[in-house]
Amino acid sequence: MIASSDSSTAGAGPERRRGLAASVSGPVAGSPDGLAVAGATNLDARLIALGAPAEILAEVRGLARASGAGMVDLLLQKKVLPEPALLAALGEEYGIPFWEALPTDRIDTGFTALFSIQYLKKQKMVPLDTPQGFVVAVNDPTHFQASDDLCRLLGRPERLVILATQDEIHAAINLAYDLSRSTAKEFFQGMNEESTDSLISEIEETGDLLDETSDAPIIKLVNLLLSGAIKDRASDIHIEPYQGNVKIRYRIDGILYDILSLPRKIHSPLVSRVKIMAKLNIAEKRLPQDGRIEIKVADRSVDIRVSTIPTAFGERVVLRLLDKTSSILMLSDLGMDNRKVGIFNRLIKSPYGIVLVTGPTGSGKTTTLYAALTSINQPAVNIITIEDPIEYQIDGIGQIQVNPKIDLTFAQGLRSIVRQDPDVILVGEIRDRETAEIAIQSSLTGHLVFSTLHTNDAASAVTRLIDMGIEPFLVTSSVIAIIAQRLVRVLCPKCKEAYTPDDESLANLGIDKNQPDRHPLYRKQGCAACMNTGYRGRTAIFEILILDDPLKRLILKTSDANQIQDEAMKRGMTNLLSDGARKVMAGVTTIEEVFRVTRILKRETDLET
């Protein structure tokens, strides 16, 4: 429908514009007002033919009249039909095309200066330049006013109105606002050599690192690095000095990317500025230092751990960003299939025992444990943690920060926690025999203990505990389950590409090439939405080893991780690789990604054979 906001279409408007929210007298069935009629309508007939229950449609009509709420919202809330089917039906009814996907490759971000992101998300609409011309994508075909206003303000009365799902509209809005913000990377790419030089000479001239005005060039540079990192969802910023230059790198979804290379002379003022922000000693350059910075960026409170170490070319600085306002995941969001969620749910409701989560640094162990704590967190349960660092603050949970400077270690903290009559204890990590022994003691005296160990797979955690000097019978009488996990990057939904993999890759992944229900697999491409990486976000793969009686008997006989692993697999455990294979089959991630995060496992086996 080509509509314009001038009077000619407005003439057809007053009737049409009321939509479901208004009460309307006697429109013709099949007219856009049809849905507002008390009796059955053409749209109802369409929806019923698609499987929508008639009584729910009647209820929605009543609700819409009473509350003035949007029709599409109500129909979706009541799960009358899946959103695409519903929108397709509405589109036919209203003569508005429904687009399953919004083309965002030539997005014009001009509108981001005129409208707040919240407004557009609330109205669920986005203007886009597409190969078919200028369109306004809306989710609710009855919201004429908002899209008319939008086009008038943009000075583009001629437009095609189309319907799109909420997710597609939200993604397009996010992308437009992301692209319109200048990041550190763009800032530097956009600058020619002259202006880079002028910023650098400005930094040298100003020299005054205590100058807190935000337009001091070095402050501008550090602020750009920080805001760029947050915008790009980076978890770490690395400042690395080399002989001829300083490299700035961001870690995004677990992978380090080179962001920019700065002249060597910028290193000293840059590092000094970061050290001042973190309240570190700027004169001390020969010893490692740790500090923290708290900043607010766009209403988000970000806690930054700063660590410096001396290297041959000067101090190397790593800033680890912890977004305190990012929400804690629910168990169902971790990436476990339904069966594993069920098992995990039962485990974390055990009255006592130890549940261990294992994996290398950055494998999402803390996220899993926080999700567990959140799901069992209620006033009747006393939960206390000792952590390093406290990554999120959870209401209703006592959280203690490890502090070696005052001898508050995991072991020491745990000892004190036990005296506080807890039901559930989280020990950030078991690193030594002392901590392991107190954890076991606590579980044997009726506490549920969560902790982590740095091992590659679940079975190796048993071996690790025994190597620490823990008697096998203490392991089997306290540990109830061990979870191993890794994070895999999720394929960008905008650009992932279906393909047919070769038989060898499938075999390596443990997928039978003759399997009858073989789906197409997906591989990465790269587009604006994923900064050309082909991935956006991460999810976890898991193996859950339950210490049942046969396994306990085996552990009492041997601490050989391979034997324990084999027995667990025989008893139905899916290992990391096969859990990864499932996510590859489901089009969530790629074969390469699963191999990347599990290759340590492969290498170990290769060495042994």
**Interacting residue ranges for Zn ion, rule: CB under 5 A:** 492, 494-495, 527, 529-530
> Which residue, 105 or 158, has its beta carbon nearer to Zn ion?
105
The count of C-alpha atoms lying within 13 angstroms of the C-alpha of 541, restricted to the half-sphere facing its C-beta, is 29
* Nearest position to Zn ion, beta carbon: 492
Distance separating alpha carbons of residues 73 and 79, to the nearest angstrom: 10
Closest-CA residue to 537 (of 593, 493, 583, 490)? 490
- At 192, give phi and psi (nearest 5°): -85, 175
Output the smallest distance, CB 534 to Zn ion, in A: 6
> Which residue, 154 or 527, has its beta carbon nearer to Zn ion?
527
Distance separating alpha carbons of residues 372 and 355, to the nearest angstrom: 11
Closest-CA residue to 411 (of 429, 434, 387)? 434
Amino acid (1-letter code) at residue 325: T
Output the smallest distance, CB 494 to Zn ion, in A: 4
> Which residue, 84 or 526, has its beta carbon nearer to Zn ion?
526
Output the smallest distance, CB 250 to Zn ion, in A: 17
> Which residue, 529 or 561, has its beta carbon nearer to Zn ion?
529
- At 202, give phi and psi (nearest 5°): -60, -45
> Which residue, 6 or 497, has its beta carbon nearer to Zn ion?
497
> How far is CA 216 from each of CA 155, 206, 209, 213, 411, rounded to the nearest angstrom?
38, 7, 9, 6, 46
Output the smallest distance, CB 127 to Zn ion, in A: 22
Output the smallest distance, CB 367 to Zn ion, in A: 24
Reported residue count of the chain is 609
Output the smallest distance, CB 496 to Zn ion, in A: 7
- Give the start-end residues of each E strand in 289-372: 289-297, 300-311, 314-323, 353-358
Compute the C-alpha angle 225/228/232, nearest 5°. Answer: 135
> Which residue, 234 or 530, has its beta carbon nearer to Zn ion?
530
Output the smallest distance, CB 129 to Zn ion, in A: 19
Distance separating alpha carbons of residues 156 and 163, to the nearest angstrom: 18
Query: Three-state SS across 529-577?
Result: HHCCCCEEEEEEEEEEEECCHHHHHHHHHCCCHHHHHHHHHHCCCCCHH
Output the smallest distance, CB 416 to Zn ion, in A: 49
> Which residue, 70 or 254, has its beta carbon nearer to Zn ion?
254
> Which residue, 376 or 527, has its beta carbon nearer to Zn ion?
527
Distance separating alpha carbons of residues 87 and 70, to the nearest angstrom: 14
What residues contact 500, with CB distance under 8 A and at least 6 apart? 520, 521
Output the smallest distance, CB 175 to Zn ion, in A: 10
Q: List, in sequence order, every residue forming a beta bridge with 426; answer none if it has no partner.
A: 385, 450
Closest-CA residue to 370 (of 340, 333, 320)? 333
Structure-token pair, residue 79? 């799960």
Distance separating alpha carbons of residues 212 and 220, to the nearest angstrom: 10
Output the smallest distance, CB 171 to Zn ion, in A: 11
> Which residue, 530 or 568, has its beta carbon nearer to Zn ion?
530
Number of C-beta neighbours around residue 385 at 10 A? 23
- How does DSSP classify residue 163? E
Distance separating alpha carbons of residues 502 and 458, to the nearest angstrom: 30
Could you give the angle at which helices 591-608 and 576-585 cross, rounded to 10 degrees?
160
Output the smallest distance, CB 529 to Zn ion, in A: 5
**Residue 293 · residue 217 · CB < 8 Å:** no
> Which residue, 495 or 594, has its beta carbon nearer to Zn ion?
495
Output the smallest distance, CB 590 to Zn ion, in A: 13
Output the smallest distance, CB 363 to Zn ion, in A: 24
Distance separating alpha carbons of residues 190 and 430, to the nearest angstrom: 48
Output the smallest distance, CB 101 to Zn ion, in A: 13
> Which residue, 130 or 558, has its beta carbon nearer to Zn ion?
130
Output the smallest distance, CB 397 to Zn ion, in A: 37
> Which residue, 464 or 496, has its beta carbon nearer to Zn ion?
496
> Which residue, 495 or 541, has its beta carbon nearer to Zn ion?
495
Largest separation between any pair of C-alpha atoms in the chain: 87
**Residue 540 · residue 368 · CB < 8 Å:** yes
Peptide bond into 404 cis (omega under 30): no
**Residue 137 · residue 173 · CB < 8 Å:** no
> Which residue, 53 or 587, has its beta carbon nearer to Zn ion?
587
> How far is CA 436 from each of CA 219, 467, 470, rounded to the nearest angstrom?
45, 11, 8
> Which residue, 87 or 128, has its beta carbon nearer to Zn ion?
128
